[in-house]
Structure 1
Amino acid sequence: MTNHEVEKLKDYFQQNDRTKEYSFHIAKVHSVAWSCDGKMLASGSFDKTVNVYLLDSDKDRLIREHTYKGHTDSVDQLCWHPSDPSLFVTASGDKTVRIWDWRSSKTIASISTKGENINICWSPDGQTIAVGNKEDLVTFIDFKGSKIQYEQQFKHEVNEISWNNDNDLFFLTSGQGSINVLSYPALKPLDMLNAHPANCICLKFDPTGKYFATGSADALVSLWDVAELVCVRTFSRLEWPVRTISFSYDGKLLASASEDLMIDIAYVESGEKVAEVKCETPTFTVAWHPKKHLLAFACDDKDKYNSEREAGSIKVFGFPKES
């Protein structure tokens, strides 16, 4: 069954291998994310703005809906509410977290934090936002009250942060290559998984709740069983530090990207390569659509081969071939 499914997915991407590019920012895009219903895509940029796009499925294209301004420094990460497709939150170097409703041009709430924010995630129950800063302080924000609940200072380098799908554990990747597992909401240390011999950079849970994956400076992606907290396989086709990973909506595919000039798309259950997305420059953010095999991503603007290349573009892979 596995081989048949892999071949079916390979055939699918041979027929749906178009990448479309959209250049609406004026500087490098740091983060892309889809709304929970898949109708909207948001992108945060070094140009201090967020763009939100409508996915026009009938014409296989994105249409920019609005540009959101308010941050006074780079928008480094963003994410959408897990169940309300109108809300998203942004983390910025301006020491604020902002909550937005895409239907309005104004910020719903702006929460001041103690440092330059680089990581953000929304709890699966939608009640809490966690944001990490450059000083390894993680701040937990009550969404409805738009106020800080509590803060946790860590003594080690904290990279990506995430709740598990059941909302009762909190995970952090560290500069020592470990995955730290904390209880939630008590935030008591439960386990420290020695995942990689080098900096553990990114972390994602698959939508089915069976696995989570981490990407590391050792150029490996490791896949972990959520229930057993054991590594079940690694993916090793990249040659540079893995900066970003994303699971497809069905949990069958894992996209990973780095400074390699391609995005690797692997079949989760076997590790076999299903597709490869060619890139002109390093890729630092990828996000699968929550209902389709469409992959949004953004690359570095620095292109030594083409000094006239437009800055601030996002791309979407998985559209049908032109007829």
Structure 2
Amino acid sequence: MAAVTTAAATAATVTRFHPPKTTLFPTYIKRQKTTAYPEHPPRGSSAVAAQQVRTLAWSPLGTQIATGLASKSIRVWDPEKPRVHIHEFVWRGERAEKVLFHPRGEPEIVSVGEDGMIRFWDVRAKGTSGEIKAGGLCFTLAWSPDGKELVVGKKNDDIVRVDCESRTIISTIRLKDQTNQTCFNWAGDSLLTTTTDGFFKILDYPSLDELARFPAHNSSCNCVAYHPAGAYVATGASDGLISLYRTDGWLPAKTFDAQAGPVKTVSFSCDGTYIAGGSDEGTGFEIGNVETGESVYKVEAKGPTPVVMWSPRDYAIAYAPSDWGIRVVGAPTPS
């Protein structure tokens, strides 16, 4: 009998999510428990610094979370089991700046970091499955929707295309502007990028020719996210704003100004109804309604929360405080 794939096996255990009405959302999210991973804080300032999370990612089905730590390691968590991480990948080199799960549900994670290495990690085998030396400081990462290619951004303005199957570099193209973050549209034929001059750009893929650019902000545009249904593009910037553009005409739709400082991450809820952004200033973060443009709830925290990411399967929200570890609001309970 053929073995069942990890993605299929996991899919069978995922419960269908029924979101509350928008009028009931503030009450719903207020009632959700916030879970810490790990449950207990580390002891000593050096241990706290080592557990600072630089980046996090959900698996496509929302059944695992990967975190890239300042301690040059990646931890993989089961949201239902906060006390013990599933596995920890450790390497010699520099810390990871970005981690992503395989978009098609394969048990694989990719990381990039300051040492110029692109590392592939096999979650099932709990070890490395390959690496590529891109050189320089790699700090942005996007995975094509079909899982076949990676796009890695470097501090010297290079964009590196990677073939995932052969583990080889396809091409390296230098752009005119430094790219702060990238993401694909769902068709995989366009790449969205943000720049230090406040623009977000649409590039043809795979040629990387510029198709359009939009003046989204008056300061550095730091992050970008694509709406689950493809209706919007969201950008966050150093001006503390989150801007929304409609993709049916590429006109500005809404602006959220509830952030306390520069927006470092931006994320849509699984159904695209809500949006949240992470900042390295202030305390906690605001959740906004995409259609109304209004803030509907604030998740309280003791300090800044620069990394915020919604689950792709429900209204659970993972965030990384500026001190240590991660928290999940509305984490699933053991089934």
Alpha-carbon separation, structure 2, partners of 1:320 and 1:90: 26
> Residue 316 in 1 paired to residue 332 in 2?
no
Q: Secondary structure at the match of 1:108?
A: strand
Alpha-carbon separation, structure 2, partners of 1:97 and 1:261: 33
Q: Which amino acid aligns with 2:138?
A: N
Equivalent residue number for residue 154 of structure 1: 175
- Per the alignment, do residues 17 and 106 of structure 1 end up closer, same or farther by CA in structure 2, a change over 3 Å counting? closer
Alpha-carbon separation, structure 1, partners of 2:78 and 2:35: 17
Equivalent residue number for residue 269 of structure 1: 291
Native 8 Å contact 2:79 2:331 kept in 1: no
Q: Which amino acid aligns with 1:45?
A: L
What pairs up with 1:1-323 in 2 under 5 angstroms?
5-22=21-38, 26-56=50-80, 61=82, 63-258=84-279, 259-301=281-323, 312-319=324-331
Q: Secondary structure at the match of 1:243?
A: strand
Same amino acid, percent of matched pairs: 30
- Per the alignment, do residues 66 and 19 of structure 1 end up closer, same or farther by CA in structure 2, a change over 3 Å counting? closer
More strand by share: 1
Native 8 Å contact 1:19 1:316 kept in 2: yes
TM superposition score normalised by structure 1 = 0.89
Structure 1 residues 13-40: Cα deviation after superposition (integer angstroms, max 9, x where no partner):
1221534342587332101111111111
Query: Bigger shift: 271-280 or 292-301?
Result: 271-280
Native 8 Å contact 2:283 2:303 kept in 1: yes
Structure 1 residues 101-145: Cα deviation after superposition (integer angstroms, max 9, x where no partner):
111222111010121111111011111111111112111100111
Native 8 Å contact 2:182 2:194 kept in 1: yes
- Per the alignment, do residues 275 and 61 of structure 1 end up closer, same or farther by CA in structure 2, a change over 3 Å counting? farther
Alpha-carbon separation, structure 2, partners of 1:71 and 1:193: 40
Alpha-carbon separation, structure 2, partners of 1:320 and 1:102: 21
Higher relative CO (Cα under 8 Å, sequence separation at least 6) belongs to 1
Q: Secondary structure at the match of 1:37?
A: coil
Equivalent residue number for residue 9 of structure 2: none
- Per the alignment, do residues 139 and 100 of structure 1 end up closer, same or farther by CA in structure 2, a change over 3 Å counting? same
- Over the residues paired in the alignment, what is the CA RMSD in angstroms? 1.9
Cα drift, residue 157 of structure 1: 2.0
Cα drift, residue 273 of structure 1: 1.9
Q: Secondary structure at the match of 2:79?
A: strand
